[in-house]
Amino acid sequence: LRVEPSLLWPHRSTAEHARMQALLLLDRHEENEIRLERIEDFERLVDQLIEVNFKEARHTVELFAGFDPPLDYLEQWEARERETLRRALQNAPAYRLMLPRTARLDRNKLVSEIQQLVTVENDGRVSD
């Protein structure tokens, strides 16, 4: 999400046409079944993703702080991240896939259940 696909893969023409179809967040819960929830509150989701991104980037942030960066560099960085996430979510749904915390999952069963949940979510269609 942080950079355009054409910058990541400059020699792959498919990157110019690739579009995010959905955002899928993985989470754990105490129930025994797999659950797929559609996320409707995009602003809250963006806030959560920004928090995760900046926790993951804390070492980079600390490194930058040691080089006397401009006073507002962190705010500018966060604003760019926030705008990138908002743009990505404009035309793509977001889901939270809730997996049982304690159960050991069989991969084939997991794939089957996810496919069933996605099909139900899309009125019986599995997206191309």
Q: List the chain residues with pLDDT less than 70.
A: 1-3, 5, 15-18, 103-106, 118, 120-128
Take residue 105 and report the two structure tokens written for it: 């999952």
Take residue 123 and report the two structure tokens written for it: 């009125």
DSSP 70: -
Is the separation of the CB atoms in 25 and 93 below 8 Å? no
- Cα 64 to chain centroid distance, Å, stands at 25
Is the separation of the CB atoms in 35 and 29 below 8 Å? yes
Phi and psi at residue 60, in whole multiples of 5°?
Answer: -65, -45
Cα separations in angstroms, 29 against 26, 35, 103: 10, 9, 10
Take residue 95 and report the two structure tokens written for it: 């889901």
**What is the pLDDT, as a whole number, of residue 26?**
86
Model pTM above 0.85 = no
Is the separation of the CB atoms in 29 and 100 below 8 Å? yes
**What is the pLDDT, as a whole number, of residue 125?**
56
Cα–Cα dist 124/15, whole Å: 29
